[in-house]
A and B are shown apart, each in its own frame.
Chain A
Amino acid sequence: MSENINPNPSILPSPSATPASRPLTGPLAPPPPLEGWRIDLLKTFPWLKWLVKRRWFQFAVVLPNLFLFLVFLAAGVWGTPVGNRNILIVFVWIFWWFLLISAMVPFLSRAWCTMCPFPFFGEWIQRGSLTTPKMAAPGAKGAKVGINRYFGWNLRWPKALSNIWMQNIGFLGLCTFSAFYLTRPIVTVWVLGSLIIIATVLHVVFRQRAFCNYVCPVSGFLSLYSMSSMAEVRSRDAEVCLKCHDKSCLVGSERGWGCPWFNFPSKMERNNYCGMCMECIKSCPHDNMTVRLRPFATDTKLKGYDEAWKAFIMLSLALAYSVIYLGPWGFFKDLANFTESGRGLSAFLGYALCLWALPMVVIPTVFSAFHWVARRLAGAEPKPWKESFLLMAYQLVPLGLLAWIAFSLPLIFINGSYILVTMSDPFGWGWDLFHTAHTAWSPILPQWMPAIQVGILAIGLILTLKSVFKQAGKIYTDNRARLRFALPMALLMTLIVSLFIRLYVS
Chain B
Amino acid sequence: MTRRIEELEPKEILALAISIEQANQKALRNFSEMFDGYNQEVSRNFGEMAEEEGRHEELLQQMYKKKYKGPAPNIDSFDIEGVVEAVDLDDSEFLIFDSFKAQQVYQASWEAERRAREFYLKAVKNVKDAEMANLFNTLADMEGDHADWLEKKLGHKGKKP
Give the CA-CA distance A265 to B96 in the complex, in Å.
12
Q: Which of B34, B89, B94 has the most CB of A within 10 A?
A: B34
- A26 and B98 contact, CB distance less than 8 A: no
- A263 and B95 contact, CB distance less than 8 A: yes
The answer to the question of A162 belonging to the interface, with a C-beta cut-off of 8 Å to chain B, is: yes
Q: Which residues of A contact B93 (CB under 8 A)?
A: 263-264, 272-273, 303
Q: Which residues of A contact B36 (CB under 8 A)?
A: 144
The answer to the question of B92 belonging to the interface, with a C-beta cut-off of 8 Å to chain A, is: yes
Q: Which residues of A contact B30 (CB under 8 A)?
A: 146-147, 245-247, 250-251
The answer to the question of A12 belonging to the interface, with a C-beta cut-off of 8 Å to chain B, is: yes
Q: Which residues of A contact B88 (CB under 8 A)?
A: 27-28, 241-242, 267
Nearest Cβ in chain A — how far from B140, in angstroms?
A: 10
Q: Which residues of B contact A162 (CB under 8 A)?
A: 96-99
- Interface-facing stretch out of B7-15, B20-28, B60-68, B131-139: B20-28
- B83 and A12 contact, CB distance less than 8 A: yes
The answer to the question of B129 belonging to the interface, with a C-beta cut-off of 8 Å to chain A, is: no
The answer to the question of A24 belonging to the interface, with a C-beta cut-off of 8 Å to chain B, is: yes
Give the CA-CA distance A252 to B73 in the complex, in Å.
29
Assess A269 versus B92: contact at CB under 8 Å? Given A143-B37, A144-B33, A154-B37.
yes
Residues 87-110 of B contacting A (Cβ, < 8 Å)? 87-99, 107-108
- A242 and B83 contact, CB distance less than 8 A: yes
- B115 and A12 contact, CB distance less than 8 A: yes
- A11 and B34 contact, CB distance less than 8 A: no
Q: Which residues of A contact B121 (CB under 8 A)?
A: 18-19
Q: Which residues of A contact B41 (CB under 8 A)?
A: none
Give the CA-CA distance A30 to B97 in the complex, in Å.
23
One digit per residue, 1 when the CB lies within 8 angstroms of any chain B CB and 0 when it does not, for chain A 485-506 equals: 0000000000000000000000
Give the CA-CA distance A207 to B96 in the complex, in Å.
11
Q: Which residues of A contact B97 (CB under 8 A)?
A: 162-163, 303-304
The answer to the question of B38 belonging to the interface, with a C-beta cut-off of 8 Å to chain A, is: yes
- B92 and A28 contact, CB distance less than 8 A: no
Residues 124-168 of A contacting B (Cβ, < 8 Å)? 143-147, 154, 156-157, 159, 162-163
Q: Which residues of A contact B34 (CB under 8 A)?
A: 145-146, 247, 250-251, 258
Q: Which residues of A contact B26 (CB under 8 A)?
A: 245-246
Give the CA-CA distance A270 to B82 in the complex, in Å.
25
The answer to the question of B112 belonging to the interface, with a C-beta cut-off of 8 Å to chain A, is: yes
One digit per residue, 1 when the CB lies within 8 angstroms of any chain B CB and 0 when it does not, for chain A 1-36 equals: 000000000111100011110101111110000000
Closest to A207 in B: B38
Q: Which residues of B contact A262 (CB under 8 A)?
A: 95-96
- B96 and A213 contact, CB distance less than 8 A: yes
One digit per residue, 1 when the CB lies within 8 angstroms of any chain B CB and 0 when it does not, for chain A 454-473 equals: 00000000000000000000
- B125 and A17 contact, CB distance less than 8 A: yes
- A263 and B96 contact, CB distance less than 8 A: yes
Give the CA-CA distance A29 to B96 in the complex, in Å.
22
The answer to the question of A118 belonging to the interface, with a C-beta cut-off of 8 Å to chain B, is: no
- A264 and B89 contact, CB distance less than 8 A: yes
Count B interface residues, CB 8 Å.
44
- B159 and A26 contact, CB distance less than 8 A: yes
Give the CA-CA distance A244 to B31 in the complex, in Å.
12
The answer to the question of B77 belonging to the interface, with a C-beta cut-off of 8 Å to chain A, is: yes
Q: Which residues of A contact B91 (CB under 8 A)?
A: 264, 267
The answer to the question of A239 belonging to the interface, with a C-beta cut-off of 8 Å to chain B, is: yes
Q: Which residues of B contact A242 (CB under 8 A)?
A: 83, 86, 88
Residues 18-55 of B contacting A (Cβ, < 8 Å)? 23-24, 26-27, 30-31, 33-34, 36-39
The answer to the question of B57 belonging to the interface, with a C-beta cut-off of 8 Å to chain A, is: no
- When the two chains form the complex, which single residue of B98, B159, B161 contacts A157, counting CB atoms closer than 8 Å? B98
- A273 and B96 contact, CB distance less than 8 A: yes
Give the CA-CA distance A156 to B26 in the complex, in Å.
24
Closest to A21 in B: B118
- B81 and A10 contact, CB distance less than 8 A: yes
Give the CA-CA distance A213 to B96 in the complex, in Å.
8
Q: Which residues of B contact A239 (CB under 8 A)?
A: 82-83
Closest to A209 in B: B96
Nearest Cβ in chain A — how far from B47, in angstroms?
A: 14
- B98 and A159 contact, CB distance less than 8 A: yes
Q: Which residues of A contact B27 (CB under 8 A)?
A: 244-247
Q: Which residues of B contact A28 (CB under 8 A)?
A: 83, 86, 88, 111-112, 115, 161
The answer to the question of A268 belonging to the interface, with a C-beta cut-off of 8 Å to chain B, is: yes
Give the CA-CA distance A147 to B30 in the complex, in Å.
8
Nearest Cβ in chain A — how far from B154, in angstroms?
A: 13
- A22 and B82 contact, CB distance less than 8 A: no
Assess A267 versus B89: contact at CB under 8 Å? Given A146-B34, A239-B83.
yes
Give the CA-CA distance A157 to B97 in the complex, in Å.
10
One digit per residue, 1 when the CB lies within 8 angstroms of any chain A CB and 0 when it does not, for chain B 116-160 equals: 001101100100000000000000000000000000000000011
- When the two chains form the complex, which single residue of B33, B87, B92, B161 contacts A22, counting CB atoms closer than 8 Å? B161
B-binding residues in A (CB < 8 A) = 10-13, 17-20, 22, 24-29, 143-147, 154, 156-157, 159, 162-163, 207, 213, 239-247, 250-251, 258, 261-269, 272-273, 303-304
Given A17-B125, A26-B90, A156-B38, 17 new contacts (CB under 8 A): A12-B83, A12-B119, A13-B119, A19-B118, A25-B159, A28-B112, A28-B115, A145-B34, A146-B34, A207-B38, A245-B26, A246-B26, A264-B95, A266-B92, A267-B90, A267-B92, A268-B92
Q: Please name 28 pairs of A and B residues whose Cβ atoms are closer than 8 Å in the assembled complex, sorted by A.
A: A10-B81, A11-B82, A13-B82, A13-B119, A18-B121, A19-B118, A25-B159, A26-B90, A27-B87, A27-B108, A27-B111, A28-B86, A28-B115, A144-B33, A147-B30, A157-B98, A159-B98, A162-B99, A239-B83, A242-B86, A246-B26, A251-B33, A263-B93, A264-B89, A265-B92, A267-B91, A267-B92, A303-B93
